[in-house]
Amino acid sequence: MKSLKKKPIDLFENLSIVLTGFSKADIVGTGLVQTYFDTVKKELGKEIFEAILNAIENIKISNPEHPSDKNARQIKDLMGNINFKTPVSQIIQLWYTGEWVVGTFSPENYIVSSESYLEGLIWKAIAAHPMGGKQPGYGTWGFPPQTFTSKN
Shortest Å distance, C-beta 53 to other proteins: 16
Q: Residue 144 Cβ, how far from other proteins at the closest point, in Å? A: 5
Question: How buried is residue 24: exposed, middle or buried, by Cβ count under 10 Å (0-12/13-18/19+)?
Answer: middle
Q: Between residues 3 and 140, which has the closer beta carbon with respect to other proteins? A: 140
Distance CA 131, CA 141 (A): 13
Q: What are the residues binding other proteins (CB under 8 A)?
A: 18-31, 67, 72, 75-76, 79-80, 85, 88-89, 92-93, 96-97, 99, 104-105, 109-111, 113-114, 117-118, 122-123, 125-129, 131-152
Calpha distance 98→112 (Å, rounded)? 6
Q: What is the residue type of 67?
A: P
Cβ neighbours of 150 (radius 10 Å): 10
Min separation Cβ 49 and other proteins, Å: 18
